[in-house]
Amino acid sequence: MPEQYKSSTEIQPTPVIAPGHTFGTVTEKISAIVLTRPATNGWFIGFGIAFMATMMMLYAIGYLFLKGTGIWGVTIPVGWGFAIVNFVWWIGIGHAGTLISAILLLLRQSWRNSINRFAEAMTLFAVAAAGIFPAIHVGRPWLAYWLFPYPNTMRVWPQFRSPLMWDVFAVSTYATISALFWFGGLIPDFATLRDRTEKRWIKVIYGMLSFGWRGSARHWHRYETMYLLLAGLATPLVLSVHTVVSFDFAIGIVPGWHTTIFPPYFVAGAIYSGFAMVLMLAIPIRKIYGLEDFITLRHLQNSAKVMLATGLIVAYGYGIEAFMGWYSGDRYDAFTLWNRLHGPYAFWYHSLLACNIFIPQVLWIRKLRSSPLALFLISGVILIGMWLERFIIVVVSLHRDFLTSSWGMYYATRWDYMTYFGTIGMFLMLMFLFLRLLPAISIFEMRTLLPEAEVKE
């Protein structure tokens, strides 16, 4: 190679798919994970731990049903404890999946093609984990269906002026659309698995799931239209979901909640934590399943940049909250700020600032953005930070509001922790199953990334 070209090739960005792959190798490599690769001991151990954590969650929920929410740390004045903290945390994590699959599709960021499938799966499982909390928090969970407007003999209807009702509709719509988007994306890949497997019963199952997909040009045309429209619908939806979640707080009058910065700052925080979870999942998956060709450093670097950007929006949100606490002249808002910085939960507020604002700034360093291990650790820090953020918002705002006579402290019980860690276990258990049963990377979208897929008119 002539000397003058060398430097220009060196600064080429890392490719989204390693060179040398064909339609055949992409197909074989991804479908082999599901069809031929035996389940290793590592998989069984991981799945087993996650499964046991899920059982722990079911145990904690079973006991909750027996005893009531008194077994949790929630009481007056902090009536919204871990349940709401975890709900918001999980819903937020889900947002990155939709961002990757829908918004990046509309922006024609084709690098998303290798991570959208499992990011969408992550969304679904995170929403499933999130959905548990409000349902078991209602006090009489066997009546949770009262949240939906159904004709009933009591002749009453839900109260649609409440943001909590908006939340019911936003989250259930979000879960439905995410599931459709995910399943819709899987249809052509189910057909691939149907055609690749040798075993009859597996063929039948994947054949049924593929709806008999045969890849007709007319079908592809309608399919792409559907995919694009679902992306267009999911984009405002995902922004609306965390906006509505933030309304749960912002519509109330509690100091620390009643602010207009909440919707954009919640959405940014959601994407921030979601990308952190994507990286925490993608980095081990690409390593263990040898998918470095498809989930390249480019994906990790891009995700790191998204985290850096959304992290700065979150930092701006904190800044505005603090500024408004002072500038509004409202003594309760000012006290909320003081209480965060110096009150009994000050340690956690400072940890939050460290986890969400200061430590992630190391992502400005290119070398760390290219190091999977560093990204994995920073993502973990961000996930902790985002959990603390919701804890600060929910608990620290509630524990000292207007009247000093009604101040109190919040202490989570073992049942709170069991339920929380249990949902992490359930999330991981579903991820483990997903990796073995469904193609973790979208095969047909990977094919379109290959140079052979381009046609000239």
Partner 1 sequence: MAKRDPIYGIMAEFDSAQALLEAARKTHQAGYKKLDAYSPFPIEGLAEEIGFHHDAVPLVVLIGGLIGGGTGYLMQYWMAAVDYPLNIGGKPPHSWPAFIVITFEMTILFAGISAFLGMLALNGLPMPYHPVFNVPRFAFASKDRFFLIVFSSDKQYNAVETRRFLEGLEPRTVSEVPS
Q: Restricting to residues 143-162, which ones interact with partner 1 according to CB under 8 A? A: 149, 155-162
**Could you give the string, one character per residue 181-200, with x where binding to partner 1 holds by CB under 8 A and - elsewhere?**
x-xx---x--xx-xxx----
**Could you give the string, one character per residue 4-43, with x where binding to partner 1 holds by CB under 8 A and - elsewhere?**
------------------xxx--x----------------
- Amino acid identity of residue 255, one-letter, is P
Tally of CB atoms within 10 A around 408: 12
- Assigned token pair, 48: 């087993």
Rounded CA separation 178/68 (Å): 32
Stretch that binds partner 1, among 134-142, 239-247, 271-279, 379-387 (CB under 8 A): 239-247
**Helix/strand/coil for 251:** coil
Q: Is 271 in the site for partner 1 (CB under 8 A)?
A: no
Q: Restricting to residues 333-352, which ones interact with partner 1 according to CB under 8 A? A: none
**Could you give the string, one character per residue 203-222, with x where binding to partner 1 holds by CB under 8 A and - elsewhere?**
----xx--xxxxxxxxxxxx
- Assigned token pair, 47: 């799945």
Please confirm whether the linkage preceding 77 is cis (ω < 30° from 0): yes
- Residues near 211 by beta carbon (within 8 Å), at least 6 away in sequence: 187, 190
Assess contact for 436 and 34: CB atoms under 8 A: yes
Residue 355 gets which letter from DSSP? Answer: I
Q: Is 109 in the site for partner 1 (CB under 8 A)?
A: no
Nearest to 183 by CA among 93, 100, 123: 123
Rounded CA separation 94/128 (Å): 10
Q: Is 290 in the site for partner 1 (CB under 8 A)?
A: no
**Could you give the string, one character per residue 354-393, with x where binding to partner 1 holds by CB under 8 A and - elsewhere?**
----------------------------------------
- Identify the residue among 43, 169, 407, 421 touching partner 1 (CB under 8 A): 169
| Residue with Cβ nearer partner 1 (242 or 369) | 242
Q: At what angle do helices 217-250 and 163-196 cross, to 10 degrees?
A: 150
Residues at the interface with partner 1 (CB under 8 A): 22-24, 27, 149, 155-163, 165-166, 169-170, 173, 176-177, 180-181, 183-184, 188, 191-192, 194-196, 207-208, 211-226, 229-230, 233-234, 236-237, 240, 244, 247, 444-445, 447-448, 452-457
